[in-house]
Amino acid sequence: MKLSLNEIETTSKSALLRHGAVDWVATEVAAAIREAEGLGNKICGLYYLESYCQQLKTGRVKGDADPEVTRPRAGTVLVDAKYGFAQAAFARALPEALKAVEEAGVASLAVCHAHTCTSLGYFTAQIARAGYIALGMTNATPVVAPPGGKHRVIGTNPISFAVPDGKGGVAMLFDQSTTTVALGKITMAKAAGQSIPEGWAVDAEGQPTTDPEAALKGSLVSMGGYKGWGFGLMAEFLASGMTGSLAGVDIGPLKAPEGEPHDIGDYYLIMDPATSGAFFDRLAQVETAVARDAEARIPGQGRQVADPVDIEDSVLQSVRALAGQ
């Protein structure tokens, strides 16, 4: 069924309010769901709403948390999410982070003790639209073993990079897990009774598998082997170590209704492209070079927001039930 983004946003907000989120927090989370659905990022859209609502009811995420922003150094901004939603904590801290980068040229924003942020690109794109370069990373439940090993150590640990176009828009945006595929694609394949391609995961004995159930009992594969493993570790050390949040090995299953709060860290480096005076000239050079090939593109270019979007009947029924409709 087709559903408008406005209806997705308002229904999501109603569901969040009904399960215990305060108004401004529900507004921030619903806006993120809206964008994910509009961009076709189903894993980070309505797919997560039921989990949000369940965890609001059990207290695993604090729907009334009041994030606290501090600035211990000129170029350092911290926001304690207090076990609430990352979307709300980021919104509270962003104005101070933008002041910091304007003053220092480079700044960091550490989102501490938060619920899963779902889509890092949602946040780095906001920084780029404000005129700054953003590099973001987060950690998650351990589902990845080291290459050659079978014991889980880190999560899918996404990394996102966004570049402003100098006109209030985004010239480049990528948001990807440091594994070959996001965990959500495997859980969705299991729910649909489908197999997964070889190379996505290994089973509990470290052997390649196309069975999503075996994959969920085993480990995901780092993209590019040791290269992806290195990026995943980088994200782990920064997201946990620079925020004081949990290391991946201590984070429980993200969608489990009950349990301890996620206590995840998100870490952003924010850079002013005006520092060198040459950034946008170099950006234009690269864009021109890429455009020589008709099918080539810079990541994030040409992204189209769909409105309305197709929503599966079962998902729609679940969302409306959560909203009490």
pLDDT higher than 90, residue 148: no
pLDDT higher than 90, residue 185: no
Q: Write out pLDDT tens, residues 198-215.
A: 889 988 888 899 999 999
- Give pLDDT, residue 75: 97
Q: Write out pLDDT tens, residues 161-170.
A: 999 999 999 9
- What is the average pLDDT score of the chain? 95
The three-state (H, E, C) secondary structure of 152-177, written as one string:
CCECCCCEEEEEECCCCCEEEEEEEC
pLDDT higher than 90, residue 12: yes
pLDDT higher than 90, residue 149: no
- Alpha-carbon distance of 254 to 256, in angstroms, equals 6
pLDDT, mean of residues 221-250: 96
- Give pLDDT, residue 240: 98
What tokens were used for 208?
């390649």
pLDDT higher than 90, residue 183: no
Q: Residues of the chain with pLDDT > 70: what percent?
A: 100
- Give pLDDT, residue 206: 84
pTM of the model: 0.94
- Give pLDDT, residue 188: 84
Q: Residues of the chain with pLDDT > 90: what percent?
A: 88
6: Cβ–Cβ under 8 A, 6 or more apart, which residues?
Answer: none
- Give pLDDT, residue 181: 85
Identify whether the C-beta of residue 20 lies closer than 8 Å to the C-beta of residue 64: yes
pLDDT, mean of residues 105-125: 97
Q: Write out pLDDT tens, residues 59-77.
A: 999 999 999 999 999 999 9
What tokens were used for 114?
């938060």
- DSSP codes of every residue in 81-149: -TTS-HHHHHHHHHHHHHHHHHHHSEEEEEEEEE---S-HHHHHHHHHHTT-EEEEEE--S--BPPTT-
Q: Write out pLDDT tens, residues 70-111.
A: 999 999 999 999 999 999 999 999 999 999 999 999 999 999
Residue 194: closest CA among 211, 209, 214: 211
pLDDT higher than 90, residue 191: no
Handedness of CA 102, 234, 119, 197 (dihedral sign): positive
Phi and psi of 76, rounded to 5°?
Answer: -125, 120
